[in-house]
Amino acid sequence: MQPEALSALIAEFRKLPAVGLKTATRYAYALIDMSEAEASEFADAIMRAKAEIHFCSECGNYTDREVCERCLTADKRVICVVAEPRDVTAFEKLGTYDGLYHVLHGTLDFQKGIGAEQIRIKELLTRLDGVEEVIVATNPDVSGEMTAAYIARLIKPLGIKVTRLAHGIPVGSEIEYTDEMTLGKALSDRKEI
């Protein structure tokens, strides 16, 4: 008996991560309860984000420019290598790191068939001119550690220091969810691989 347009909207909300039927239904009701203007603002924000945001051609983070502001203004002697854009957000909140970022868009996982070709390792190698330190800030799980070791093996022979975040991040948890205190400590205590 549910109007088709309502079912369709609920189906769309269910495509978001970890959203089940009940949550999607609540969201859909909330949206229908909004004013006409608010609802079109919502739809416009979706279309605008999709149209304007893409990956920075240098670091691979989200940006609305060709090269993101960070890549233009950062201290270019240090690169912090992360798996996903959301990990950059976690570091940005710290406010204490002013070097470059490099987003791999994944980590090595041979079981899933993700090798060095599938993530942005080649692009990292083209960015090492003038770089003194590469901080590999992948998650402390099997795939993240393997990626860090792989990158260290490629880059250390070039005479560049390769570091890893200090233990301080609880093993098994994710960078994205680490509180700022812990992440700050992990950054300052980073150690050479």
Short-list 64, 158, 155, 148, CA closest to 108: 148
Taking CB under 8 A as the criterion, which residues in 6-25 touch a copy of itself? 6, 8-9, 11-12, 15-18, 22, 25
- Tell me the number of residues near a copy of itself by CB under 8 A: 52
**∠ CA 156-159-162 to the nearest 5 degrees?**
45
Q: Which of 50, 117, 129, 171 binds a copy of itself (CB under 8 A)?
A: 50
- Shortest separation between residue 129's beta carbon and a copy of itself, angstroms: 23
Interface with a copy of itself includes 27 (CB under 8 A)? yes
Q: How many CB atoms lie within 10 A of CB 138?
A: 24
Say if CB 82 and CB 138 are below 8 A apart. yes
To a copy of itself, the closest distance from the beta carbon of 119 in angstroms equals: 15
Report the DSSP pairing between strands 133-136 and 161-164.
Answer: parallel
Instruction: Give CA 16 to chain center in angstroms.
Output: 17
Candidate list 58, 78, 82, 85; residue touching a copy of itself; CB under 8 A? 85
User: Contact positions toward a copy of itself, by CB under 8 A?
Assistant: 1-6, 8-9, 11-12, 15-18, 22, 25-32, 34, 36, 38-53, 62-64, 68-70, 85-86, 89, 92, 177
